[in-house]
Amino acid sequence: MTMQNTTKRSLFQRWEDYQPSKTLLFWACAGVITATMVIGFGWGGWVTGGTSREVAVAAGDTARGQLASVICVERFKAAADSAAKLIELNAITDHYKRRQFVEAGGWATMPGQTSADRRAVEGCTVALAS
For the stretch 7-47, pLDDT in tens is 788 888 888 888 889 999 999 999 999 999 999 999 999 99
pLDDT digits (tens, 9 = 90+) for 96-129: 999 999 999 989 988 888 888 888 899 999 998 8
Q: Please state the domain extents for the chain.
A: 63-129
Distinct helix (H) and strand (E) counts, the chain: 6, 0
Query: Are 71 and 85 contacting, i.e. CB atoms less than 8 angstroms apart?
Result: no
Q: pLDDT tens across 71-87, in order?
A: 999 999 998 899 999 99
What is the reported pTM? Answer: 0.65
Measure the N-to-C terminal CA separation of the chain; round to a whole number of Å.
99
Is the pLDDT confidence value at 54 over 80? yes
